């Protein structure tokens, strides 16, 4: 079985979610407290003893039906010519506020070598490290990001910045527009739903305003900056 890493950074229910993961993946390892999304993923790559490894985010509640049995093969190809071993795979996740089902927050499978060799990335980790992005359609988890006002707002702001700016290479703009509209309109009565809608709409505005300025868009991966924005505009 490939290595499985649970990646946490001060998430409120990380301990509980890790216990749930260990029920289905007893050998899962926890990497916590590393500042920076890119740096944290590279630490997982350094610790991995297998050629590819899974990453589960700390706000993920794993599905009982999900297994970690998939292993990429150099003899199977995606898009006709690219071996599975050169790809990043992302599974679907349930959104607890607006009920969307897509790759946001889903389980991820990385090629160790590609991630270790990457020197930079462009806002979205899974699509810009030099490996081909491949969506998987099984649901891996619920992304339970709505744990408090800030984490709810932060998650919505970051995702809707990406959707509105079309920063993800080769993204489906029709799907992105639909998902963005859902983020910005649904779920007001769900737990912390008002903070989700606020973050989504502010993220949409930020993404549209700076869509041609990737360095500014990259601020969404600076959690200290996000905290400042939240405290100055969202509270």
Domain ranges of the chain: 3-143, 149-233
197, 149 in Cβ contact below 8 A? no
pLDDT at residue 125 in the model? 61
pLDDT at residue 168 in the model? 66
pLDDT at residue 172 in the model? 59
Mean predicted confidence (pLDDT) in 22-28: 97
**pLDDT band with cut points at 50, 70 and 90 for residue 235:** low
78, 134 in Cβ contact below 8 A? yes
Phi, psi of 76 (to 5 degrees): -110, 145
**pLDDT band with cut points at 50, 70 and 90 for residue 174:** confident
Nearest partner of 204 among 227, 177, 228, judged by Cα: 177
pTM across the whole model: 0.92
User: Mean pLDDT over all residues of the chain?
Assistant: 92
Render the burial of 183-219: b for 16+ CB within 10 Å, e for the rest.
bbebbeebebbebbbbbbbbbbebbeebeeeeeebee
**pLDDT band with cut points at 50, 70 and 90 for residue 167:** confident
Q: Would the pLDDT of 123 be above 70?
A: no
- Structural fold of domain 3-143: Spore Coat Polysaccharide Biosynthesis Protein SpsA; Chain A (3.90.550)
């Amino acid at each position: 079985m490939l290595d499985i890493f649970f990646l946490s950074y001060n998430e409120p229910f990380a301990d509980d979610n890790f216990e749930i993961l260990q029920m289905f993946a007893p050998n899962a390892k926890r990497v916590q407290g590393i500042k920076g999304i890119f740096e944290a993923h590279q630490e997982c790559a350094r610790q991995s003893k297998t050629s590819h490894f899974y990453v589960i985010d700390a706000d993920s509640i794993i599905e009982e039906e999900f297994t970690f049995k998939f292993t990429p093969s150099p003899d199977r190809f995606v898009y006709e010519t690219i071996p599975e071993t050169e790809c990043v795979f992302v599974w679907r996740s349930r959104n607890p506020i607006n009920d969307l089902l897509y790759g946001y927050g889903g389980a991820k499978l990385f090629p160790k070598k590609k991630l270790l060799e990457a020197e930079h990335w462009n806002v979205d980790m899974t699509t810009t490290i030099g490996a081909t992005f491949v969506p998987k359609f099984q649901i891996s988890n619920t992304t339970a990001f709505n744990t408090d006002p800030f984490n709810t707002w932060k998650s919505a702001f970051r995702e809707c910045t990406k959707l509105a700016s079309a920063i993800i290479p080769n993204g489906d703009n029709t799907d992105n527009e639909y998902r963005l509209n859902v983020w910005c309109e649904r779920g007001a009565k769900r737990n912390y739903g008002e903070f989700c809608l606020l973050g989504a709409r502010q993220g949409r505005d930020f993404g549209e305003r700076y869509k041609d300025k990737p360095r500014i868009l990259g601020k969404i991966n600076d959690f200290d900056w996000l905290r400042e924005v939240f405290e100055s505009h969202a509270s």
